[in-house]
Amino acid sequence: MKKFLVLICLFTILENTYSQKIAAFSIYNSKGKKVSVKAMFKNLEKSEIILFGELHNNPISHWLQLELITHLYIKNHNLILGAEMFEADNQDGITAYLKNEIDRKTFDTIVRLWSNYKTDYAPLVEFAKDNNIDFVATNVPRKYASMVNRNGFEVLENLTEAEKKHIAPLPIDYDPELPGYKKMFNMIPGHNSPNLPKAQALKDATMAYFILKNYKTNYIFVHFNGAYHSDNYEGILWYLKRIKPNLKYATISTVTQKDVSKLEEQYKGRADFIICVNENMTTTY
């Protein structure tokens, strides 16, 4: 009997050890302390604007996005959703679909959708549609970002008044000394252009502009974006705080590690909450 109990104990220890090694993800606060999904969601209920930074092909990010908005909705919070993945000039098509004025086939035709839309973002849009929640296209039309990447902010002055409605108001506020933009400037040695971070800033400024334009008092605006657009409290958040510093903001980032049992030093302080995903996790594309 004693031998049997010893074997059971050994099996339990081995099982727990193996389970830890193959954990799918862990969540940490900004200081690197592990927190539960429940605790993160509870904390986020206090926010007015949440920037959910994802890795675009990471299924854990997308699953937790849907879980978060479901949790907030069940808790009777008024929600507004928005995303980098939709460009501002496609707003009419999104709104028409949410209101059942067009069918899904027409929506797929008139709205520029990312290649991973069906697996990663359609669940969010369908949730908004099913629950009568506004979904905001916040990103700058990519053609304007490309123009800035080639010729700088000055080229935006040549846009028509109708075209300018799809970008942040001019002139674009820009700080080239922000660490994220400086890092982008030095990304490709020998090919660094001062306009590359400007194109990024145009995206960040435009997303912040449309978030605040559509935000309503007593609502929680949950915005989905690549983590690099809000990591280290820069990017979108920098623009948001310059316009509305007193709103309650929260940021989430997503990172990958070989071992998710402890957050690496380089990721501490990156966001209010860091979703640390096993680097062997299956990707959506």
Question: For residue 243, what is the domain's CATH number?
Answer: 3.40.50.11550
d(CA 2, CA 57): 49
pLDDT at 188 > cutoff 80? no
- The contacts of residue 20 (CB under 8 Å, 6+ apart) are 261
- Total domains, the chain: 1
Asked whether residue 134 is domain-assigned, the answer is yes
Task: Round to whole Å and give the CA distance between 132 and 260.
Answer: 37
Angle at CA of residue 241, ends 95 and 67, nearest 5°: 50
Q: Taking residues 71-89, report their average pLDDT.
A: 97
* Mean pLDDT on 76-101: 97
Q: What is the pLDDT of residue 89?
A: 98
Tell me what the pLDDT averaged over the chain comes to: 92
Q: Where are the alpha helices (DSSP H) in 51-155?
A: 59-74, 91-98, 104-110, 122-130, 142-151
Contact 120, 58 (CB under 8 A): no
Listed range (15-19, 66-70, 244-248) with the worst mean pLDDT: 15-19
Q: How confident is the model at residue 190 (pLDDT cuts 50, 70, 90)?
A: low
Query: CB count, 10 Å around CB of 110?
Result: 14
pLDDT at 131: 98
pLDDT band at 184 (very low <50, low <70, confident <90, very high): confident
Is residue 16 in a domain?
Answer: no
**pLDDT for 192:** 66
Between residues 49 and 9, which one has the greater pLDDT? 49
Element (H, E) at 268: none
Q: Output the CA torsion 270→272→275→276 (10° steps).
A: 50
Element (H, E) at 222: strand 219-226
Query: Is 10's pLDDT higher than 60?
Result: no
| Domain region containing 187 | 23-263+274-278
| pTM listed for this prediction | 0.91
